[in-house]
Amino acid sequence: MTSPNQPAASVTFDECQTPSPNHVPSKAKEILTFVMPATEKNEKDRHALVPLPKTYNEAVAAAIRVLGEYMGDSSPENVILRYHVQDDERKWVWANIEPENWELLVSSGNNVGVFEKLKIPRGMKNFIQGRVYLAFGVREPRQLVWSEVTTRGMEPATRTLVRRPSSFKDAIELLRVATTGHGVAIEWRATKNYVQDWTDEDWAKAAQKLKFYYFTNPDLSTAAYLQFPELAYTNDDIWRYVVPMPGEVLGVVLPEEF
């Protein structure tokens, strides 16, 4: 028994057991791993770490920032995210995520797959060389009127053939060659007269406003047409994906003023 006059035994705590009164535990890092699965034989999966996004749309934006350089079309509309989960057979699969349930389904440490809704080939390796028919469009009330790509006998007019352009820049250079100098196709004479006095500066201004089109009807018909997506003018991979194939018709409408 300890005498009241004796000092009580002291207890020593290890420093690691007793946090300092001023110590604040660090918050656990909330990190998400993006995985872009390989789609070609010689490709490898690509990975990227990002702070855990709060919403699906924020996650899409983050995925584009860190992995967009490996996509053919990195627009948000073309990107879809999927959750890595095991199915009933214990196989790992990629499952679609409802955007509104992002916060409920996805947690720190998870793997989220990054996919393109429309897989667009990158680079020139798969670009098919050849020639396309070129038609110039003029804006009329409620429609576009196109220059002819067939002769009176309904045979293709080979003089309206041009090299299939591999990019928007390539197409502009092609237009300049097609509409200047000697030997311009009869079908393009009106366009030649329109651009004959254009300077380099004029062409540069026109390039910001002119539009390209592809046609959906068979047999070189220009009755039904669609405008190139805006990204095609700045993304060469998208351009190569939408530009008409050899033997088809490429349409262009020059600006009336600029």
Name the CA dihedral angle for 212, 134, 193, 173, rounded to a multiple of 10 degrees: 70
pLDDT value at residue 2: 45
In angstroms, the CA 258 to CA 246 distance is: 31
149 contacts 222 by C-beta, under 8 angstroms: yes
Domain boundaries for CATH 3.10.20.90 within the chain? 31-116
Closest by CA position to 73, among listed 228, 232, 244, 243? 232
pTM of the model: 0.66
Segment-wise mean pLDDT, segments of 10 residues, the chain, 258 residues: 43 44 62 92 90 97 95 90 92 95 95 91 84 93 88 69 95 92 83 91 94 91 93 91 94 88
pLDDT value at residue 182: 75
Structure tokens at 188: 């393009």
pLDDT value at residue 26: 54
167 contacts 236 by C-beta, under 8 angstroms: yes
Strands 111-116 vs 31-36: parallel, antiparallel or unpaired:
parallel
pLDDT value at residue 12: 37
E strands, 110-209, where?
111-116, 131-140, 143-146, 161-163
pLDDT value at residue 9: 40
pLDDT value at residue 6: 43
Domain 31-116 architecture: Roll (3.10)
End-to-end CA distance of the chain: 103
Alpha helices (H) along 4-84: 56-67
In angstroms, the CA 53 to CA 77 distance is: 18
Tokens 């050849």 belong to: 130
pLDDT value at residue 257: 77
